[in-house]
């Protein structure tokens, strides 16, 4: 009986200590994030990164995501990519981490990797607005109008009254010589934003 009491007492101490350590580490982590946000709001990105160094845990999605973002803001794009990749490895279905990494990849002009990332978002969410629109835009800038239209079609089908979508649709059609179709899209875009002047040379100033 005495042995049982001892075991019970030791177990109680062990779990109590574990709970305390767990709670304390949670409090420290929260405090580090708070300080990091405070530094970020003051545009002190390096300080915001430093605040997280002591509590850094390579297996934490949240820490890697935050450090990916802060390193991007701090123009440390390679470091940013590394952290975001760790976040993605931890949570492969995370769209937010994939959207985060493209900012840093764009800073490094790694457009093929950006395309791969947006495509991986579309595997999770085929109608993802940002991924479809930006893929369309990248291909448009590469003068690959076939691929550009493929992605833009998905975007404007679900958001038919969106200025950016109609504008890009117009430019794609215009670039492939379908001027009349282009004008239809430009006019739709002008219904969304009547103050826009970017189509004047095509639509005319009297619109």
Partner 1 sequence: MWKKTIFSLAICTMATVTNAQQTTPVNAVQLAFKKSYESEYNLKYAKAIEELTPVYDAKSYELNLRLGWLNYLNIKYVSSIDYYKKCIELAPKSIEAKLGLTYPLASLERWDEVIVQYKEILKLDPTNMTANFQLALINYNRKDYAQALPYINTYVTSYPFNFEGINLMGWIHYASGKKDVAKTYFQKALLINPLSKNYELLPEMK
- Which lies closer to partner 1 via its Cβ, residue 143 or residue 204? 204
Distance of CA 182 to the CA centre of its chain: 30
Least Cβ distance, residue 187 to partner 1 (angstroms): 6
- Which lies closer to partner 1 via its Cβ, residue 26 or residue 109? 26
Least Cβ distance, residue 188 to partner 1 (angstroms): 7
Least Cβ distance, residue 65 to partner 1 (angstroms): 5
- Which lies closer to partner 1 via its Cβ, residue 148 or residue 154? 154
Least Cβ distance, residue 146 to partner 1 (angstroms): 21
- Which lies closer to partner 1 via its Cβ, residue 96 or residue 109? 96
Q: Which two tokens stand for residue 164?
A: 């950016």
Write out the residues near partner 1 by the rule CB under 8 A. Answer: 26, 29-31, 33-34, 37, 61-62, 65-66, 91, 93-97, 124-128, 157-162, 187-188, 190-191, 194-195, 206-207
- Which lies closer to partner 1 via its Cβ, residue 7 or residue 89? 89
Contacts of residues 53-58 at CB distance under 8 Å and 24 or more positions apart, as own/partner, are 54/28, 55/25, 55/28, 55/29, 58/86
Query: Left if phi > 0, otherwise alpha if psi is -120 to 50, otherwise beta: which for 178?
Result: beta
- Contact partners, residue 83, CB within 8 Å, separation at least 6: 64, 65, 67, 68, 71
Least Cβ distance, residue 95 to partner 1 (angstroms): 4
CA distance 65 to 73: 13
Q: Nearest 5°: phi and psi at 188?
A: -65, -45
Measured at the CA of 55, the angle between CA 49 and CA 61, to 5 degrees, comes to: 80
Distance of CA 84 to the CA centre of its chain: 10
């Amino acid at each position: 009986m005495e042995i049982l009491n001892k075991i019970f007492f030791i177990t109680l101490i062990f779990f109590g200590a574990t709970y305390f350590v767990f709670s304390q580490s949670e409090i420290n982590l929260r405090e580090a994030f708070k300080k990091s946000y405070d530094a970020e709001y003051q545009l002190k990105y390096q300080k915001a990164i430093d605040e997280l160094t002591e509590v850094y845990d390579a297996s934490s999605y949240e820490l890697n995501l935050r450090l990916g973002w802060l390193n991007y803001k701090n123009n440390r794009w390679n470091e940013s990519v590394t952290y975001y990749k760790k976040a993605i490895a931890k949570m492969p279905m995370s769209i937010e981490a994939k959207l985060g990494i493209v900012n840093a990849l764009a800073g490094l002009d790694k457009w093929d990797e950006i395309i791969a990332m947006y495509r991986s978002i579309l595997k999770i969410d085929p109608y993802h607005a940002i991924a479809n629109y930006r893929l369309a835009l990248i291909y448009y800038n590469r003068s690959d109008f076939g691929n550009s239209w493929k992605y833009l079609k998905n975007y404007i089908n679900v958001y038919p009254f969106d200025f950016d979508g109609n504008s890009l649709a117009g430019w794609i059609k215009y670039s492939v010589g379908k001027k009349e179709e282009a004008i239809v899209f430009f006019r739709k875009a002008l219904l969304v934003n009547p103050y826009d002047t970017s189509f004047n040379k095509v639509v005319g100033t009297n619109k």
